[in-house]
Amino acid sequence: MLQATFRDPEGMFHVARRLTYLGEEDKALQMLGRSVDSGFFCYPAMVRDPWLDPLRGLPEFTGFLHKAQERQREAIRSFVSLGGDALLGMHAESY
């Protein structure tokens, strides 16, 4: 496993998908969990990435997916409530 000093959440996600591709599902799940817990919660990427398909039936993966989805929703709510959409000239329904 990667050293504990590796702290890039998006990098952890990419390591997790490569581990999945290599058939290392247990290690991939550990890394995916670290990724979400560390702040990478790009739900659309996790839902659509075909390299993660071998994990989709596993309860741990489903849990990470739900956590990522909720964190993304929280981020969007915060963004909108603080006027981020108006600042960027966007409409809330577009994300």
In the predicted model, what is the mean pLDDT of the chain?
A: 89
Q: Residue 86 — very low, low, confident or very high, per pLDDT cuts 50/70/90?
A: confident
Contact, 74 vs 36, CB < 8 A? Answer: no
pTM exceeds 0.85, yes or no:
no
Mean pLDDT for the stretch of residues 2-19: 87
Within 8 A by CB and 6+ apart from 1, the residues are 27, 30, 31
Compute the average pLDDT of residues 71-80. 90
| Range of weakest confidence among 3-7, 39-43, 49-53 | 3-7
pLDDT higher than 60, residue 10: yes
Q: How confident is the model at residue 2 (pLDDT cuts 50, 70, 90)?
A: low
